Structure 1
Amino acid sequence: MLRRIRFSRTLAVALLILGGWFGAPAANALIPYVYLPTEEELKGSSIGIGRTAAQLLQLGQAKDAARLAALAVRLNPNDERFWSILAEAQLRNNDLKDASRSLARAKQLNPEKAGLWFAEAAIALRAERPDDAVPLIARGLQLDPNNAAAYFDLGNARIMQDELPRALESFEKATALKPEFWEALNNQALVLYELGQRQEAVRRWRRVLKLEANPEPMLALAAALHQLGEHTEAIQLASTALAKNPNYVLPLHQAEQLWGRRIREATAQLLSEPELTNSVERAQANATWKKSQ
């Protein structure tokens, strides 16, 4: 972990002339002088500060990043990059209103930057406003049509709108652009299961687990296999998944991850099996999930 960076006030903003208070100075009196940086120097400082804020974001230190990004935009308010970094930091701190304002300012400065439209859509999705997110993503894709992550977000928005065939189409576009995008492949399987295509969902979850041994597709696959009568494998997968991430024992967490009604019901049936009693109780005791704000 990086030690928290603290910045003291090093830039003086006022020059006190003693004569202003005590009358005219003597001819040989020393007049105090404070160096005032130029506008170009302030802009140069903002670049270093903004770069540090971005690095802190990569390290997961969103609060420190937000403070530094706020300083960067004060030093150079006409650079949309700093507003973007500030918005991302605010978003990670669940400060959605300020993040929206920062993004609005960034878009004023550079409306042709696709990432700003995608970021605004991410805020709308976080606030569970898919109807607002879809046109924002669509506009971003006009500027950056090969963005796999944007198609993933579009698929999530379509799930929230209960437009499952269109969600599937978006997730498949994401994996066409990025074949190892396991999250998009996982969501394809979730959609397919809700559409009644269980066997195909199982095939795609198995492909996911070859890419990433993640507990979400692992538990979903276990639930689907349990419905298909594959009892032994289902129990083994479920036990491993709950040990990896106990939060998936909670239906509310499953719903937040956009699991549909059918897969949640299948999971509930699986988790009621006596062989999983200990795993379920342990997961319930260790779950740390809190609903995203």
Structure 2
Amino acid sequence: MGLRPTLAAALVVLGGWFGAPSANALIPYVYLPTEEELKGSSIGIGRTAAQLLQLGQAKDAARLAALAVRLNPNDERFWSILAEAQLRNNNLEDASRSLARAKQLNPEKAGLWFAEAAIALRAERPDNAVPLITRGLQLDPDNAPAYFDLGNARIMQGELPLALKSFERATALKPEFWEALNNQALVLFEMGQRQEAVRRWRRVLKLENNAEPMLALAAALHQRGEQSEAIQLASTALAKNPNYVLPLHQAEQLWGVRIREATAQLLSEPQLTNSVERAQANATWKKNQ
């Protein structure tokens, strides 16, 4: 980003065009805001950009955030807002550059490291994400969502024991963190510890009646021959979130090969034909939407 344009240069050019004013001419007065006033304006603009993000207006937020960093390029908050807006507009490279600038300004802010790691994960670059999260955790060691992201990165790397350790650290810090508990079960199922996976999915459903753990539990139960409960859970899960009928959506949610195969076997049951067809018709998933 370049620095803000200055009116002084424009005034010099105008003077060259029109010549020196006569003694009786009215000299126009152009107010030039001070640097401090421009910085003050940037705060209001930055706040508005953040509010637009909360309202889901990412394109307008990006334009305002870009203006804020031009007015005050040395405040990492504005670069962070700009990065978030760029991320929501799927401009991953621009978002990475904005976060890198924010980190230069405030390298001790853990959230900036975590945010850059989140972009790396979205771009499916777990090898880049892991050291970023690790550095952030050195600054903020009790951040449960960061351990969750670290666990996801480890799954993407195929490091399942390390993934499980990270997810368990997340729930140790935040016991109601059902997403981390759900991912523990996903990892355990892939590691062959299916009974423990079932136990943890049941715990998840006590915390949150969510389609993902519901369908995964149904698939695990189906493999154990517990057909009645499995069919009922699967039907309810597909009605709650039809996207989980799609193997590609399951994979994007970091479901491993074993749980996807178990789910495919479950969904081939004749009792689920209507539920599966309805879910396929209603699914709205698009990769990296």
TM category (shorter chain) comes to: over 0.9
Runs of 4+ in 1 over 4 A off after TM superposition: 7-13, 16-19
* Residue 256 of structure 1, aligned match among 246, 252, 255: 252
8 Å CA contact retained: 1:192, 1:198: yes
Task: For residues 75-103 of structure 1, give each alpha carbon's deviation from its aligned partner in whole angstroms, at most 9, with x where no partner exists.
Answer: 10000111011111111221111011101
Deviates more, 1:48-57 or 1:266-275: 48-57
1-side partners of 2:44 and 2:6: how far apart?
Answer: 15
Asked if the contact 2:171–2:180 (Cα under 8 Å) also holds between the matched residues in 1, the reply is yes
Q: Relative to 1, partners in 2 of residues 1:186 and 1:44: Cα closer, same or farther, differing over 3 Å?
A: same
Partner Cα separation in structure 2 for residue 18 and residue 275 of structure 1: 81
For each residue in 1:14-45, what CA deviation from the matched residue of structure 2 results, as whole angstroms up to 9, or x when unmatched? Answer: 43787643443222211122211111111011
Answer with 249-258 or 85-94: which moved more.
85-94
2:122 and 2:94 map into 1 onto residues whose CA distance is 14
* CA deviation vs aligned residue, 1:85-127 (integer Å, no higher than 9, x gap): 1111111221111011101111111111111111111111111
Residues 23, 51 of structure 1: alpha-carbon distance in 2 compared, 3 angstrom cutoff: closer
Identity %: 91
Partner of 2:84: 88
Once the 2 structures are TM-superposed, how far is the Cα of residue 141 of structure 1 from its aligned partner? Answer: 0.4
CA offsets, 1:147-167, max 9 Å, x none? 001000000011011111110
More displaced stretch, 24-33 vs 243-252: 24-33
Given that residues 84 and 106 in structure 1 are in contact (C-alpha distance below 8 angstroms), is that contact kept between their aligned partners in structure 2? Answer: yes
Q: Secondary structure at the match of 2:29?
A: coil
Aligned position for 1:3: none
Contact 1:206 1:221 in 2 (8 A): yes
1:264 aligned counterpart, secondary structure: helix
Query: Alpha-carbon deviations, 1:251-273, whole Å to 9, x = none?
Result: 01100100001100110011001
For 2:4 and 2:240, how far apart are their aligned partners in 1? 43
Deviation at 1:8? 16
The separation in 2 between residues aligned to 1:46 and 1:152, in whole angstroms, is 34
Higher helix share: 2
What per-residue deviation string (whole Å, max 9, x for no partner) do you get for residues 216-236 of structure 1?
A: 111111111111122111111
User: How much is the aligned-residue C-alpha RMSD, in angstroms?
Assistant: 2.4
Tell me whether 1:9 sits opposite 2:5 in the alignment.
Answer: yes
Structure 2: 5+ residue runs without aligned partners?
A: none
Tell me by how many angstroms 1:128 deviates: 1.0
> TM-score, normalised to structure 1's length?
0.93
Question: Per-residue deviation at 1:130?
Answer: 0.8
